[in-house]
């Protein structure tokens, strides 16, 4: 793996709620190395030359065109970025993989092909395959000679993955398994050459299998008629007495869930850069249209409401980008000295990703919802033309919607994120209980709690808001646990509300630290500082609303009134001129014609 120097502080997953970080301790796009920038340029050139001229053809469901382009990307190494050189890959780092993902996401359909192949298609073999399996399949996946797909969902088993019905039975001579069943919503399904298929051996042991399309009995269904990403391939996969050699069992028998859940963590992380790339493209398209479109005798870019939209689109994209690469850096910090040649390389990579499973869920939820917001406002800026299929923003709007369903719905991820932090606390790996008790002692001490000189330096007020947001997260966790104890995991609305608070606290802090880092580097940080100033205040309003809902469910009477009083104190902040600030941000976007930091 290409070596990258990270000065990132190693931290436990979820520890952001309990610890303060310095700007230099987080990873941001400003830290990209020459190698990172080079792979970004290569991907941009590939996009401009090979993908952009054929986007319309891909949209009209000529799937063969997309497959040919995917194979061309393999010739450049873009489908084998993280795969070891000995298996035909480029053996670059996780950051490089994310940069490529961001740069190919200007079109939802093509990014579906590329993302499914390089992510959930290839990664299971890289991380869980035997040496023989890797030697047999990874070189062909790295070059895209073989196209990969991942088959977990079934007609009656989506989010509840362990409820699958596909069955595998060992043959009498013990040489192969016979698979029967149906998979649903399989990306790349109609054109894949290799499927990772999950089935239950004997109807009980949840296990993964590597199944080649050429095996008799494997039959892709018809292409699904979808709202968006119409140029991607999405089919059912039918398995009729498919004989799979025993050596094609992937991972351990009965432990397929380890593969499924770990690959989903990585997929959730990768959705951040995918969404960011889509957002940046829509911002550029919308800025150009706003400058060109005339109404009432002038460009609509001169109108305050249009400027508000462009600025807010840019602000939220900036925050999603800051969060995503911060987590990439956290994972990378756990991989210091990493080598795929090490005996436990795959286990080390998996452990590093799993450590930040909650943060990966935050990224998946936050970034997918930012993309939805950006594409929606992009359509609005275009007016009636935004509703017309001749305009790219119409396609982007339809394509964005699936991201809130991919890799576990946003609802599932809102439950998982807080649930994972609570489990860490119960295991003693995250001192959440101690932090909650400390906060409760401060609150009980009386009006002086939260006093002191407070933060100083760039964005000091925003830093204070972040600190209070974390306290609100701890407050809601503590009060919710006091009421429900071990039954808290069954209170979905409460868990989702706590996630909303914690996720936005993480988002706030990521934005603040990045803006401070830019300022400390001597670069012009006006735009980052102003975007951050607007975001943290709006996010605090959302946090207050979510926390109020949780507190009202978990307390009543005098206890509720006291809790709300504490909440009110934590949510106080000095407002900024958001209108004037957004106008300045919009002016920079319109001047550059693109997303700006």
Task: Give the pLDDT confidence of 382-397 residue by residue, as tens digits.
Answer: 999 999 999 999 999 9
- 3-class secondary structure, 5: coil
The pLDDT assigned to 5 comes to: 53
The pLDDT assigned to 7 comes to: 63
For residues 193 and 166, what is the distance between their CA atoms, to the nearest angstrom?
20
Strand positions, DSSP E, 412-472: none
At residue 148, φ and ψ (nearest 5 deg) are -110, 155
For residues 504 and 454, what is the distance between their CA atoms, to the nearest angstrom?
21
Please list the active-site residues: 407
**Residue 251 near residue 259, CB atoms below 8 Å:** yes
* Mean pLDDT to the nearest integer, 293-317: 98
For residues 379 and 228, what is the distance between their CA atoms, to the nearest angstrom?
15
* Mean pLDDT to the nearest integer, 492-500: 98
Task: Give the pLDDT confidence of 459-476 residue by residue, as tens digits.
Answer: 999 999 999 999 999 999
Query: Which residues share a beta bridge with 243?
Result: 178
Give the pairing of strands 167-170 and 194-201.
Answer: parallel
Tokens matching residue 569:
């104190």
Tokens matching residue 211:
């199944």
The pLDDT assigned to 9 comes to: 74
Reply yes or no on whether the pLDDT at 522 is more than 60: yes
The four Cα atoms 526, 527, 529, 535 give a dihedral, to 10 degrees, of 160
The pLDDT assigned to 3 comes to: 46
pLDDT band at 10; cut points 50, 70, 90: confident
Instruction: In the chain, count H helices and then E strands.
Output: 19, 10
Task: Give the pLDDT confidence of 130-176 residue by residue, as tens digits.
Answer: 999 999 999 999 999 999 999 999 999 877 888 999 999 999 999 99
Q: At a CB cut-off of 8 Å and minimum separation 6, what does 42 contact? A: 76, 78
| Eight-class DSSP state of 123 | H
For residues 241 and 181, what is the distance between their CA atoms, to the nearest angstrom?
9
Reply yes or no on whether the pLDDT at 213 is more than 60: yes
For residues 84 and 92, what is the distance between their CA atoms, to the nearest angstrom?
8
Q: What is the mean pLDDT of the chain?
A: 95
* Mean pLDDT to the nearest integer, 116-130: 97
């Amino acid at each position: 793996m290409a070596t990258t120097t990270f000065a990132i502080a190693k931290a436990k997953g979820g520890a952001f709620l309990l610890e303060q970080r310095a700007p230099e301790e987080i990873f941001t796009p400003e830290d990209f190395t020459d190698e990172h920038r080079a792979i970004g340029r290569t991907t941009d050139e590939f996009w401009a030359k090979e993908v952009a001229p054929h986007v319309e053809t891909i949209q009209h469901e000529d799937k063969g065109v997309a497959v040919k382009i995917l194979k061309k990307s393999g010739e450049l190494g873009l489908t084998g970025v993280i795969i070891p050189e000995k298996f035909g890959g480029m053996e670059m780092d996780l950051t490089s993989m994310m940069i490529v993902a961001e740069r190919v996401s200007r079109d939802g359909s093509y990014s579906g092909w590329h993302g499914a192949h390089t992510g959930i298609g290839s990664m299971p073999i890289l991380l869980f395959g035997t040496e023989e399996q890797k030697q047999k399949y990874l070189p062909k996946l790295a070059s895209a000679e073989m196209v990969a797909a991942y088959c977990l969902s079934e007609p009656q088993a989506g989010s509840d993955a362990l409820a699958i019905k596909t069955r595998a039975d060992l043959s009498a001579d013990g040489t192969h398994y016979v698979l029967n069943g149906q998979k649903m919503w399989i990306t790349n399904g109609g054109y894949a050459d290799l499927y990772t298929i999950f089935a239950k051996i004997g109807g009980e042991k949840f296990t993964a299998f590597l199944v080649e399309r050429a095996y008799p009995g494997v039959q892709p269904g018809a292409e699904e008629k979808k709202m968006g990403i119409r140029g991607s391939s999405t089919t059912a996969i039918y398995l009729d007495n498919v004989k799979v050699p025993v050596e094609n069992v992937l991972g351990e028998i009965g432990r397929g869930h380890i593969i499924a859940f770990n690959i989903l963590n990585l997929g959730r992380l990768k959705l951040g850069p995918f969404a960011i790339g889509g957002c940046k493209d829509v911002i550029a398209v919308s800025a150009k249209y706003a400058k060109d479109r005339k109404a009432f005798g002038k460009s609509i870019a001169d109108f305050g409401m249009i400027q508000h939209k462009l600025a807010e689109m840019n602000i939220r994209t900036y925050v999603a980008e800051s969060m995503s690469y911060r987590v990439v850096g956290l994972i990378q910090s756990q991989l210091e000295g990493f080598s795929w040649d090490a005996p436990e390389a795959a286990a080390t990579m998996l452990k590093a990703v799993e450590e930040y499973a909650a943060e990966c869920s935050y990224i998946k939820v936050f970034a997918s919802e930012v993309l939805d917001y950006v594409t929606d406002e992009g359509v609005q800026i275009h007016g009636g033309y935004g509703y017309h299929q001749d305009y790219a923003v119409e396609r982007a709007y339809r394509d964005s919607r699936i991201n809130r369903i991919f890799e576990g719905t946003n609802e599932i991820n809102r439950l998982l994120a807080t649930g994972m932090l609570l489990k860490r606390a119960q295991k003693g790996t995250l001192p959440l209980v101690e932090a909650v008790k400390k906060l409760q002692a401060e609150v009980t001490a009386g009006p002086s709690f939260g006093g002191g000189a407070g933060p100083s330096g760039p964005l000091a007020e925003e830093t204070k808001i972040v600190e209070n947001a974390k306290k609100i997260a701890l407050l809601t966790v503590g009060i919710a646990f006091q009421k429900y104890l071990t039954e808290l995991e069954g209170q979905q609305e409460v868990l989702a509300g706590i996630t909303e608070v914690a996720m936005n606290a993480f988002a706030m802090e990521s934005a603040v630290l990045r803006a401070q880092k830019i300022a400390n580097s001597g670069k012009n940080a006006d735009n980052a500082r102003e975007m951050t100033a607007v975001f943290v205040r709006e996010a605090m309003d959302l946090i207050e609303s979510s926390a109020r809902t949780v507190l009202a469910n978990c307390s009543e009477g005098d206890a509720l009134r006291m809790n709300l009083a504490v909440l009110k104190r934590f949510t106080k902040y000095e407002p900024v001129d958001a209108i004037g600030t957004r106008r300045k941000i919009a002016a920079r976007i319109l001047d550059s014609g693109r997303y700006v930091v």
